[in-house]
Structure 1
């Protein structure tokens, strides 16, 4: 896979995401426990880790802005891999995500499953 255009941070909807974003976003419990920011290319992460959430906030980040800090690894950060490789996810270590790095924000609603939201967001969800 070639380099993505965008990568994404999925955030539980509650509480709603602030507008404008803060200078540095607080790390999620998972990010703190893992020692890195979990980023994604979305569909698999959405369906696996947010399967029961009624709403999810999606932060879109231009890949070129954070590319130098990205490490592609398995979800636990234990096995390095190729950019966009099967089962590989973009991670950023040793810092929080900066508000200025967020290109846009959207909220998706799950209606039974996430397929409808993914279909509606097809033009926004660019890799």
Structure 2
């Protein structure tokens, strides 16, 4: 988990393939250890997602660490704060280091297991 003395190398944006993202004025992101629960809570029925891997150092000045809204997803103990990108909703080749495509095969376990070398803190 990120603490004041350690920073993640990468943060991740989950983009659904079939439903549009909502525009909150910022980009919701997750750290590697938060991706599984984010998938299981918000993308449970999504057949396919694109995972954008963003090098934290390239966006650090536009990141705010915020807690998840308990009204939306309930308490998520042990997950800590989530990164939110406030840069005018810009996510392009300057921000995105790489992209993975994951399929929901009766749940996200298989995709997450196969992503271990790529999904890193």
TM-score, scaled to structure 2: 0.78
- Please give the alpha-carbon distance, in whole angstroms, between the structure 2 residues aligned to 1:120 and 1:94: 31
Asked if 1:112 corresponds to 2:116, the answer is: no
> Aligned runs of 1:73-112 on 2, under 5 Å?
73-76=66-69, 86-99=79-92, 100-112=94-106
Write out per-residue CA displacement over residues 30-59 of structure 1, whole angstroms, 9 at most, x where no aligned residue: xx2x32111112111111110111111100
Structure 1: gaps of 5 or more residues: 16-26, 77-84
Write out per-residue CA displacement over residues 16-35 of structure 1, whole angstroms, 9 at most, x where no aligned residue: xxxxxxxxxxx931xx2x32
Alignment counterpart, residue 9 of structure 1, candidates 8, 13, 19: 13
TM-score, scaled to structure 1: 0.74
Asked if 1:45 corresponds to 2:35, the answer is: no
Structure 1's consecutive aligned runs of 4 or more residues displaced over 3 angstroms after TM superposition are: none
Asked if 2 retains the 8 angstrom alpha-carbon contact of 1:13 and 1:107, the reply is no
- Please give the alpha-carbon distance, in whole angstroms, between the structure 1 residues aligned to 2:87 and 2:60: 15
Q: Equivalent residue for 2:72?
A: none
Structure 2: gaps of 5 or more residues: 70-77
Asked if 2 retains the 8 angstrom alpha-carbon contact of 1:13 and 1:56, the reply is yes
